Amino acid sequence: MRNLLVTGGAGFIGSNFVRHVVDHTDDAVVVLDKMTYAASPEALADLPEDRVRTVVGDVADAEVVDELVAGTDVVVHFAAESHNDNSLRDPWPFVQTNIVGTAVVLEAVRRHDVRLHHVSTDEVYGDLELDERRRFEEGSPYRPSSPYSASKAAADHLVRAWVRSMGVRATLSNCSNNYGPWQHIEKFIPRQITNLLSGRRVKLYGAGLNVRDWIHVDDHSSAVLAILDRGEIGETYLIGVENERANTEVVRAILRSLGHDEDDFDRVSDRVGHDLRYAIDPSKLRTELGWEPRFADFDAGLRDTITWYADHRAWWAPDKQRVESAYAETGQ
Ligand code: NAD
Ligand code: DAU
C-alpha cells in the first residue's frame, strides 16, 4: 500500500485516475486541487473517505506542496490549465500553474526524495501533416504551437533536468486526446454533445479536417498506473490507442447518435495556430510495460459518453451559457 499525492485530482482525468486507484489498488490518495472552474469535486464525492482525502490548494504554493509531499510515497502530477483556446485568450495562468507549479512540485519531491510521475500531452510535439505516415514517438522533437502546449513542453523539460541533474526519480507520459465522463464542456466532444442537448448547434472550427487521436480516459488512467508500477525512472511513455479521427467524422457521429442530420453543423472561426494532426505510436508502452487498452471501441465509448452527458445535465447546465458566451467573443 502506497500513499499517493494526486495534483489536479478533481479534474477530468485526475478524478478518473483517483477512482481507478481506489478500484484497482490498496493505495491511499490525497488530492491537491485548486478547484478552478475546471474542477469537479462531484466526481470524487462517492469515493471512500478512508481512501481519498481532498486538500484545496495551489500547486504553485511551495509551503502547501512541501507539507503534503513530505507525507507521501508517490506524486502523480496532473494539475494544469488544460484548454488551448483559453491559453490564446490569457496565457498567464498557464505559465503560472503549468510551469511554476511543476517547478514547485519538483523541488518538493527533490527535498523529500519522493517518486514523481509527470502527466503531459502529445501536443508538445507540435503537429503532423495529414498525408504523412509518421506518428509521434518518445524521441520526436519538441515543437509546441500554443501557449498551453508550450507551457507543458517547458514543464517536461524541467522534469528531465531535475531527473538528470538533481537526482529526482521521475517518469513522464505524453497522452493523446481524452474523452469520457466529467470532461469540461469547453472541450470539443462535450461541447458538441451539450450544444445539441441544450438546443444549440454544433460548432466546427475551420474546415474540420484536423485529426485527433482519441483515447478513453479510463485507458489513460490504467496506462499511468502501469507506468507507476512498472515504468523505469527517467523514461517517457507515449499513451494512445491508434484511433485517429478527423473532427468532421466525430461531429457527424455525435449528430447521428442524437438523431440529427449529420451535416447539420456550423463552421465557425478557426483556432489561431490550429494544430493539424496528432497521432501516437504507443509501441513502447505496450511492449515494454505490457499495457493493453480496454476501451478501444471509440464508437461505443462515444455513445456511452453521450448518454452520460444526457444523464448529468444538472452538472454541466449551470456553466453552459458562460462557456458559450466566451466562445461567441472569438466567433466560435
Ligand atoms: P482539467 O482542466 O479537466 O483539470 C485540471 C485540474 O487541475 C482541475 O481540477 C483544476 O482545478 C486543477 N488545477 C488547475 N490549476 C491548479 C493549480 N494551480 N493548483 C492545483 N490544481 C490546479 O484537465 P484534464 O483534461 O483533466 O488534464 C489533466 C492533465 O492531463 C493536464 O496536465 C493535461 O495537460 C494532461 N493531458 C490532458 C489531455 C486531455 O485530453 N484532456 C491529454 C493529455 C494530457
Ligand atoms: O492532445 C492532447 C490534448 O488534447 C490535451 O493536452 C489538451 O489538454 C486537451 O484539451 C486536448 O487539446 P485539443 O486542443 O486537441 O482539444 P479540444 O477539445 O480543444 O479540440 C479538439 C479538436 O476540435 C481541435 O482540432 C479543435 C476542434 N474544435 C474544438 C472545439 C472546442 C472544434 O472544431 N470545435 C470546438 O468547438
pLDDT in tens, 214-246: 999 999 999 999 999 999 999 999 999 999 999
Q: What's the gap in Å between 71 CA and the centre of ligand 1?
A: 23
Contacts of residue 325, defined as CB under 8 A and 6 or more positions apart, other chains included, come to none
The DSSP-derived string for 252-289 is HHHHHHTT--TT-EEEEPPPTT---B--B--HHHHHHH
CA–CA separation, 113 vs 91, rounded Å? 32
**In the structure, what pLDDT confidence band is assigned to residue 317 with cuts at 50, 70 and 90?**
very high
Give the domains, in start order, of the chain with CATH numbers: 3-178+216-239 (3.40.50.720)
- Counting atoms of ligand 2 from 1, which one is nearest the CA of 205? 33
Interval 283-299 mean pLDDT: 96
**3-state SS, residue 30:** strand
pLDDT of 48 > 90? The answer is: yes
> Which one is catalytic: 27, 81, 85, 123?
123
Q: What average pLDDT is seen over the chain? A: 98
Helix 101-112 × helix 147-166 angle, to 10° = 20
Q: How far apart are CA 276 and CA 278, in angstroms?
A: 7
Task: Give catalytic status of residue 122 as yes or no.
Answer: yes
- 48 alpha carbon to ligand 2 midpoint, in Å? 33
Q: How far is CA 31 from CA 27, 175, 221, 238, in A?
A: 13, 21, 15, 24
Query: What pLDDT is attached to residue 114?
Result: 98
Determine what percent of the chain is predicted with pLDDT higher than 90. Answer: 99
Quick one: which atom of ligand 2 is closest to the CA of 213? 1
What whole-number distance in Å separates Cα of residue 3 and Cα of residue 73?
5
Across 177-203, average pLDDT: 98
Rounded to an integer, the average pLDDT of 315-324 is 98
Provide the pLDDT for residue 152: 99
Q: Using a 6 Å CB cutoff, which residues line ligand 2? A: 82-84, 121-123, 176-177, 187-188, 191, 203-205, 210, 212, 247, 271, 278
In tens, the pLDDT along 94-118 reads: 999 999 999 999 999 999 999 999 9
Residue with the smallest CA separation from ligand 2 atom 29 is: 188
- pLDDT at res. 20: 98
Q: What is the mean pLDDT of residues 255-284?
A: 98
pLDDT value at residue 160: 98
Residue 159, pLDDT > 90, answer yes
The whole-number average pLDDT for the span 178-194 is: 98
Beta bridge partners of 268: 205
Question: Does the annotation mark 219 as catalytic?
Answer: no
Cell of 153: 513542453
Per-residue pLDDT, 103:
99
pLDDT at 296: 85
